[in-house]
Amino acid sequence: MDSLILDSNTWLLVLTGAGVSAESGVPTFRGMSGLWEDQHVEAVASPEGFRKDPSRVWRFYSERRKGAAAVHPNPGHEALVAWERHLGDRFLLATQNVDGLHTRAGSQRVVEMHGNLFKTRCSRCERPPFDDATVYPTGTVPECDACGMRLRPHIVWFGEYLEPADIQRIEDFSLRAATSGGRLVFLAAGTSGAVYPAAGIVDQVRKAGGETWLVNLDPAENSSRFEHRVVGKSGEVLPTLAKLA
């Protein structure tokens, strides 16, 4: 297996998907067969589902909070922390996962593209998202202290756009790398390669002349667009993949 050299000239952009969390025991939507209690996941993960039955949505996310709080970061998460410590500001981690395992492991330069399971925001007013690990009792729909409207999980649901600031942060990192004269590397781990715009990052990095790596147990839909492909679990591959120079 080739080694990923992380030296003083390297800028590393990492993208992680559900496969990384699954190795810690976090169930994925795909693992749920797209259903929850015989309902399509969209019924509890969309603005329409929230308007129709907010208590059911909160029951779903409270169950997810309970499950995510009981698992722990795995060696893949820990390897990324070590890489960040080595590279400093030349490292950025973008994740599609909402379970907070990366920050619990110690990652600091993190873009949570799809939100965070342990944060809540108002469905109406401009109150900033706030930390909230509450597992709400069945039937509960929490209300905003500022305006009295319903609170919702701080998650990017089906049919919603990613935060422009998050996309900009990723683009700015790639631009800084390109103008620094350094070597830009993009590594994706545990991703399906099917969800955009994340699935298109590999193409952007290739156009910028960057190096691309994929670490996946199962083939991703965009596997062919990566220069280096390593088959295996991220928790087993990442700890031995890089050489810090």
Q: Can you tell me the distance from the alpha carbon of 183 to that of 178, in angstroms, rounded to the nearest whole number?
A: 8
- Could you say which of 72, 86, 102, 114 is catalytic? 114
Please state the length of the chain: 245
Q: Is position 114 annotated as part of the catalytic site?
A: yes
Contact 34, 40 (CB under 8 A): yes
Q: Can you tell me the distance from the alpha carbon of 162 to that of 197, in angstroms, rounded to the nearest whole number?
A: 9
- Catalytic residue numbers, as ranges: 114
